[in-house]
Amino acid sequence: MARRMADPAYRAQQWERRYDPNIEEINRMCDTLAEQKPDRALPYIDPAHDLDECRIVSLFSNPGASLASGFVSAENDDQSAIRTAEIYESVGLQPKFVMPWNVYPWYVTEVKEKALTPEQIDEGVKPLLAFLQRVSRASALVAHGTDAHKVARRLTQLENRAIQRRGFKVYKVRSTGDRAFAGSPAKQEVWRQEMQAAYTDAMARAGISRA
């Protein structure tokens, strides 16, 4: 089933909202990151999310070569976004309580779903820390896939005090990308259940009620 970002009118509406108060600080940070790499643009975060209400961070690898909507969003019309939306909906997680981010936030023009280079992972650590400092009420990070797992380990090694004070918990689950989901229906169901369990536990720790 097509997601809402497939609708040009909805995309235009979200674009006009990209600097709304609930998401402005994050998307202004995206503008700053874009200025740091003039040769590589990056998408904004969907204004369906909320900086002040965010309790859980969904960490993915990278936004790929492009996103038609211009946003990192579970409302995008690709299979990875659709799987993410299905997980959120299955556990009753409202968008305002979760926010997505990418290990490497800039668009990657190389082969789709190829693992990030060590250099790209290194480049992504500082923006991730800046992002986590802004979502100051988040107490959990769900790391999707190998690249996100690597950076999650880095966060643990850095022993960042601002994050440690929150009792921050990291959950390592599978990527929602097509290659990661290349398996039998039975295996895919196991992977979905693992993701559901991670988000359900994170919601319980944060006191988030199912929608």
For the chain of 211 residues, list the mean pLDDT of each consecutive stretch of 10. 86 97 98 93 97 97 93 95 96 98 92 79 94 94 96 80 75 93 91 97 94 80
CB 44 within 8 A of CB 27: yes
Helices (H), the chain: 8-16, 24-36, 79-91, 118-134, 146-158, 161-164, 185-206
Amino acid at 54: C
Write the CB contacts of 188 (distance below 8 Å, at least 6 apart in sequence). Answer: 181
CB 149 within 8 A of CB 141: no
Amino acid at 42: L
CATH architecture of the domain covering 4-206: 3-Layer(aba) Sandwich (3.40)
Write the CB contacts of 46 (distance below 8 Å, at least 6 apart in sequence). Answer: 14, 23, 69, 71, 72, 73, 74, 75, 95, 100
Write the CB contacts of 51 (distance below 8 Å, at least 6 apart in sequence). Answer: 22, 23, 24, 25, 26, 99, 134, 135
- The reported pLDDT for the residue numbered 111 is 57
Q: What angle do CA 89, 199, 49 make, to 5 degrees?
A: 60
Q: What is the DSSP letter of 95?
A: G
CB 138 within 8 A of CB 54: yes
- The reported pLDDT for the residue numbered 139 is 92
Given CA atoms 184, 181, 76, 195 in this order, what sign does their dihedral have?
positive
| Pairing mode, strands 71-72 and 56-60 | unpaired
In the chain, domain spans: 4-206
- The reported pLDDT for the residue numbered 167 is 76
- The reported pLDDT for the residue numbered 95 is 97
3-state secondary structure of 68: coil
Total residues belonging to the chain? 211
